[in-house]
Structure 1
Amino acid sequence: MKVVNSLKSMKTRHKNCRVIRRKGRVYVINKTNPRFKARQG
């Protein structure tokens, strides 16, 4: 999982990426390709 300042670039890496909020943190996850994970930090 990458920790990035802006998730906009991570969201556009793959068409199935979703932005999800969990416990006050913002994540990008991808169900079809689980390698694409990022957290806004």
Structure 2
Amino acid sequence: MKVRTSLRSLKRKPGSTVVRRRGRVVVVNRLNPQWKSRQG
């Protein structure tokens, strides 16, 4: 999982969903798990 300051470019990718977990914003992509990341 990558840690990024901004998830704007990742949430536009196909198959990605934005989830809030424990106060953090997480992008999970089922089509390409390489793009899994959290903000912070």
Gaps of 5+ in 2: none
Gaps of 5+ in 1: none
Aligned-pair Cα RMSD in Å: 1.0
| Counterpart Cα distance in 2 of 1:40 and 1:23 | 12
The DSSP-based 3-state class of the residue aligned with 1:8 is: coil
TM-score of the pair, normalised by structure 2? 0.80
Identity %: 52
TM-score of the pair, normalised by structure 1? 0.79
